[in-house]
Amino acid sequence: MPNKVGHSLELFFIDGTSDGMLTAEIFNWTGHVLLTPRIRLVDALKRPESKLTGVYILVGDREGSNLVHAYIGEAEDIGDRIRSHDTNKDWWTQAALITSAKNRLNKAHVKYLESRLVEEAKQAGRMNVENIKTPPRPSLSEADQANMEHFVDQVLTVLPAIGIDGFVKKTRPVGNAASSTPFNTHSKVVFELKSGEHSEHGRVHGRAYLEDGEFVVQEGSVGRSRWIGVEHSYQRLFDEVVESGVYVEDGGQRRFTKPYAFSSTSAAGAVLNGRVTAGPKDWVLESDPSKTYKQWEAEQLKME
């Protein structure tokens, strides 16, 4: 895994509010991102960056789906293209306009960016991408291709920071196929969640470990087939994981076919249990089930 390098991200809230238009730029990067809610589209399209060559992402919800929907496109005048979508597509609520300083992107560049962003979105599996087919990549020189890959990396850094996190890959590579167990955690500290051995809703048996600040539930972990708890924000997360295709039906329960990263122990526990879960208390050390995640974490803090 390549070394991760810190970035300085500058956000400018154009309207002076957190839910209005904003721009996002990374220090020493020529790219520029303008995020606008649909209700501010008229003002957004008066801005100079809307007349540049670039890529745009339309984001919103569709009735009957638990996944965020997105459409990714490119144009030599992205504002003009978005105007047509304002008439033809009624589901989107936000638009991200991605351009470059001094209009340095040409038609081939943005076609490449469009293709790569569609690829990344479909691979992440966390959004319903309206683009039916992935656009073909244009032929670029080796140098241009390297520059565009760097541009893509920066865009994928900025988007989650401004609330468009559907490009973030939550799945992880599966364990070693030669292993005798579906869990392949090597020397990692492994946590376990068990419940419902005699429950009408089925048993839960999950295993997970910490990696890069995320709590990764391992492939083979078994949980509830549906949400059984009270209505909660984690219910949407449960539905999102199911729709991603990695948490599949298996004999009246669900099973993770790939490792999947969560932002917290409670989020991971809620998806497995199908209800709100006190993750720090319910996850325990596999090597010492008498010790909860919360107790283990407290020990780690004392060692600092």
Query: For residue range 174-229, what is the model confidence (pLDDT) as tens digits?
Result: 654 333 344 444 568 999 999 877 677 788 999 999 998 899 999 999 999 999 99
- pLDDT mean over 142-159: 96
pTM (global) more than 0.85: no
Q: What's the one-letter identity of residue 83?
A: R
In the prediction, which pLDDT does 63 show? 75
Q: Positive or negative, the Cα torsion across 287, 293, 298, 300?
A: positive
- Length of the chain counted residue by residue: 304
The pLDDT mean for the chain works out to: 90
Closest by CA position to 260, among listed 222, 223, 224, 218: 218
> What percent of the chain has pLDDT above 90?
74
Burial classification of residue 1, based on how many CB atoms lie within 10 Å of its CB (0-12 exposed, 13-18 middle, 19 or more buried): exposed
CA angle 203, 208, 211 (to 5 degrees): 160
Strand partners, 33: 24, 98
